[in-house]
Amino acid sequence: MDNLYKKQSLIFKYILYIVAIAFIVFFLPKGGKFKYEFQKGKPWQYDNLYAPFDFSIQKTDAEIAEETQAIERNQLPYYRYDQNIVDDLRAEFQVAFNETWQDIGLRNSQRNRLKNVSEAILDSIYTKGILQNSGKQVQRNFIYLVKENEARKVRVTDFFKINEINELVSSVLAQNNLSSFENETQALFFDLITPNVSFDNSLTKKARDEALSKLSYTRGTVDQGRLIIAKGEVVEAENLKILESLKGEYESELWTANNYYYILIGYTVLVALVLIMLFLFLKKYRKEVYDNNTKVTFIFFNMLLMVFITTMVVKYNDELVFVVPLCILPLILKTFFDARLGLFVHVLAVLILGFVVPNSFEYIFLQIITGIVTILTVSELYKRANLFVSVGQITLIYIIGYLAFHTIHEGDLSDIQWFTFGLFLLNGMITLFVQPLIYIYEKLFGLVSDVSLLELSDTNSKLLKELSNKAPGTFHHSLQVANLAEAAANEIGANAMLVRVGALYHDIGKMNDPTFFTENQITNVNPHDELSPKHSAKIIIDHVIKGIELARKNKIPDRIIDFIRSHHGTTMVYYFYKKQKDLKGDGVNEEDFRYPGPLPFSRETAILMMADSVEAASKSLKDPTFLIIDEFVDKIISGQMKANQFLNADITFKEIETIKKIFKQKLTNIYHLRVEYPE
């Protein structure tokens, strides 16, 4: 159990590694991979390719869509003639005719003659029928008319329309010298006439489906052994379609029950290799990240999230693959870690997605290029303008890359898919949501971004305001240290914002007993005069522990607490040590007068240690000159180096010399040294 406890961090990484592999392999497409890579417009790089088996040449989606549209365009609608409506109308006509003319004094001969003419008009109308106007279905020259269970092709113009009835009535009555009865007859027909030819949706749909079922999705076959493409031949036109058909056939035949486990093992091995590269990179070049399981989990979580989202989008519609904002991955990792780690993880994620997306070479090329642009352009993310500019550059690279590939494939810029440009723009808009995402990650994983550092650097914040009220001298000292440390960090390329915030909070532990620290002593009364040197040393040393407790209570991030913990390293409170030694002799335990550490473990924490010591000790200088400040800074930092305080910090001698130079310049400006003019 003790061994398990000691190795729990390593065991967690093993579990995370296995879960990540299983997750990725589960979402990979369930199909084999064609062993040849080819692109339109590029030469065939392999030996002559012969058909390994008989297969059909598949039509492209565009060809099938065009043929489908042609079938639908040429398909005539079916209309049904309703004889029952005609029979009912004839019966209604007899009643309506008698009611119309019963009160009008007509001779029987006129009445019979008018009735015969009206019946003739009715017969002529319904010989073919009246077409029901149902919108787009009648926008054809011909239709199929189903009458007495027989479908015949007829012209649409052969049918009467409602608005043509009055003209027909007027014409027939005029021919029979009955124009004087025109108004009454027109009114009679207007009330009676009803369309009896209506659209038959079910029959039309059935005929359309039958026609579509005869549509062939292939156009010819390729026999086994036939030469498909020769080495060096350009992949285009006909051989491109044959290659794509062979690829589809090959992958569908490869993914069978017999091959399932072999292909699954192949995918697992490749994904495992990619993820082991990530672990090796972290262990060799980012040891502090590798040792922190929360940070490792954060990296894997973001990587798996991008793989999952991209896979889901591809399964829904592979044409939308570029709408996934993959550049959020390096952007977030650069924000919380560094550019090199962000780019490395981005490249590994893109390699995994090469198994998922169509046209994997184009996708991998574009995503790696845009990832590099993201790393090179995004800086100081807390400045909103920088994010907008970077997203604009990323979108521009996508568009330029797409146009270049389109030119290679098509030979010109015709037939550009403007829809793809819309995807790139949408991708950029989604990328802008990285700001709220960073805030969420800070809360979930306890990480710190530049935005949070900017908020913490506000001297009007609750904790810093309390420090300025309770320990104004310490607060002023912290501001001076922050200015020194920030200038030095900028000069050597360290994280200036981080070291400034660390400097502002490094001495907050002095708030509990402010008068025990010289910078807060207003009068000449020193409370240490009444204490033993050992007790005084304990109070001084305890400001580190109390500062950590206070920071945790106020939910200051661990990244800032590291500065509180390490800003004195394992140095000694030498003044009280020497005082105790003068009292007790040689029997003094050095550990009682030494800070517990740890040593500074980064360039930023090392800079703070130097700046803190130099600024604090500079208060003891009397009549400082250029030479005095120069020797003073060298003495302070050289003493820290001799005490091995920077062994764990990733800082070079050259950088230390640069830091010393900056400190000397800043202290010279602080003390306003001028050339002494003669009287």
pLDDT-wise least confident of 5-19, 399-413, 638-652: 399-413
pLDDT computed for residue 169 by the predictor = 80
Which of helix, strand or coil describes residue 385? helix
Percent of the chain with pLDDT over 90: 29
Bridge partner residues of 130 (DSSP): 160
Give, as one character, the DSSP assignment of residue 572: B
**Integer Rg of the chain from CA:** 44
- Render the burial of 502-512: b for 16+ CB within 10 Å, e for the rest: bbbbbbbbbbb
Q: What is the dihedral of CA 610, 612, 614, 617, to 10 degrees?
A: -140
- Pairwise CA distance, residues 221 & 213, whole Å: 20
Bridge partner residues of 50 (DSSP): 227
Whether the CA torsion 651, 652, 654, 660 is positive or negative: it is: positive
pLDDT computed for residue 139 by the predictor = 63
**Who's near 463: CB < 8 A, 6+ residues apart?**
505, 508, 550, 554, 556
Give, as one character, the DSSP assignment of residue 258: T
Which of helix, strand or coil describes residue 55? strand
- Do β-strands 150-155 and 197-199 pair in parallel, antiparallel, or remain unpaired? unpaired
Give, as one character, the DSSP assignment of residue 622: S
Residue 390, pLDDT > 70, answer: yes
Tokens representing 162 are 């409602």
pLDDT-based confidence at 5, cuts 50/70/90?
low
**Who's near 615: CB < 8 A, 6+ residues apart?**
477, 480, 481, 484
**Who's near 170: CB < 8 A, 6+ residues apart?**
179, 182, 186
pLDDT single digits (tens) 312-353:
998 888 788 889 999 999 989 988 888 899 999 999 999 999
Helix axes 418-431, 384-410, angle to 10 degrees: 160
- Render the burial of 34-56: b for 16+ CB within 10 Å, e for the rest: beeebebeeebeeeebebeeebe
- Mean pLDDT score, 576-602: 84
pLDDT single digits (tens) 116-139:
888 888 888 888 788 876 544 456
Contact in structure between 445 and 298 (CB atoms under 8 Å): yes
Amino acid (1-letter code) at residue 154: V
Contact in structure between 252 and 53 (CB atoms under 8 Å): no
Consecutive H or E run containing 217: none
**Cis previous bond, 527, omega within 30:** no
pLDDT computed for residue 262 by the predictor = 77
> Look-up: residue for tokens 């020259």?
141
Q: What is the dihedral of CA 105, 107, 108, 113, to 10 degrees?
A: -100
pLDDT computed for residue 136 by the predictor = 47
pLDDT single digits (tens) 495-540:
898 999 999 999 999 998 888 888 888 777 778 878 888 888 899 9
Neighbours of 291 (CB within 10 A): 12
- Mean pLDDT score, 165-178: 80
pLDDT computed for residue 135 by the predictor = 47
- Mean pLDDT score, 489-498: 90
Tokens representing 527 are 């409370």
pLDDT single digits (tens) 256-311:
555 677 778 888 999 999 999 999 999 998 888 898 899 999 999 999 999 999 99
**Cis previous bond, 598, omega within 30:** yes
pLDDT computed for residue 587 by the predictor = 73
Residue 438, pLDDT > 70, answer: yes
